[in-house]
């Protein structure tokens, strides 16, 4: 069973879903706790029967509906939303040619210069991830005349650095 709530009306809905579909969907997402936005195709099983998801997708979000990829990102985005910060969640890099095709976790727009946000959360045993991490840090730091860089190495249990001050 999947229990869903309409955020506008708080009305709750109940759906059935095959275990293997839920298992497959959960393995594709690295955030183990909600909230989530769910979607997919639902089949009506007949009058009085609970509808069933025949395809399923889940998108982890923070408490304000911002898509996130980890619990560490959720922590940062919750704080940014609580502080009413102006942040962009880039989904592609074509508008930012200096980024060399890389997409950061966020871009603070209320700092001068704008601040690239990166939250690194995978364990050190993932060598490829950490090579990519090193490349991102070097590239984004090289853009210091255009952007500042703020990052958190959450994977090693380090304390989250203070976020950059917003312009007043």
Q: Is residue 85 part of a domain?
A: yes
Report the 10 Å Cβ neighbour count for 150: 21
Cα dihedral angle (86, 61, 103, 24), rounded to 10 degrees?
A: 180
Nearest to 130 by CA among 153, 107, 150, 149: 153
CA 88 to CA 103: how far, in whole Å?
11
Residues 6+ apart with CB under 8 A from 69: 30, 31, 60, 105
Task: Identify whether residues 47 and 124 lie together within a single domain.
Answer: no
Q: Is residue 38 situated within a structural domain?
A: yes
Residues 51 and 88 in one domain: no
Q: How confident is the model over 59-79, as a mean pLDDT?
A: 94
Global pTM?
Answer: 0.84
Q: Are residues 91 and 42 in the same domain?
A: no
pLDDT tens, residue by residue, 107-133? 999 999 999 999 998 766 778 888 999
How far apart CA 119 and CA 152 sit, in angstroms, is: 5
Is 163 part of any domain? Answer: no
CATH number at residue 97: 3.30.70
Contact call for residues 49 and 98 (beta carbons, < 8 A) = no
**Where does the pLDDT of residue 168 fall: very low under 50, low under 70, confident under 90, or very high at 90 and above?**
confident
**Domain range for residue 139?**
71-156
Q: Which of 11, 29, 60 is the last residue of a domain?
A: 60
Q: What tens digit of pLDDT does each residue of 33-65 get?
A: 889 999 999 999 999 899 999 999 999 999 999
Q: Mean of the per-residue pLDDT values for the chain?
A: 92
How many domains does one find in the chain? 2
Claim to verify: residue 47 and residue 102 sit in the same structural domain: no
């Amino acid at each position: 069973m999947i229990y869903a709530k309409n955020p506008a009306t708080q009305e709750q809905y109940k759906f059935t879903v095959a275990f293997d579909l839920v298992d497959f969907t959960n393995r594709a997402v690295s955030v183990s706790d909600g909230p989530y936005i769910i979607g997919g195709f639902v089949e009506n099983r007949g009058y009085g029967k609970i509808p069933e998801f025949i395809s399923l997708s889940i998108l982890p979000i923070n408490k304000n509906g911002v898509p996130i990829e980890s619990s560490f990102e959720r922590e940062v985005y919750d704080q940014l939303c609580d502080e009413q910060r102006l942040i962009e969640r880039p989904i592609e890099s074509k508008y930012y040619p200096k980024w060399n095709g890389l997409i950061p976790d966020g871009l603070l727009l209320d700092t001068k210069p704008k601040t690239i946000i990166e939250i690194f959360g995978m364990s050190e045993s993932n060598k490829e991830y950490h090579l990519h991490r090193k490349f991102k840090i070097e590239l984004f730091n090289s853009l210091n005349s255009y952007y500042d860089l703020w990052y958190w190495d959450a994977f090693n249990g380090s304390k989250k650095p203070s976020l950059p001050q917003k312009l007043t």
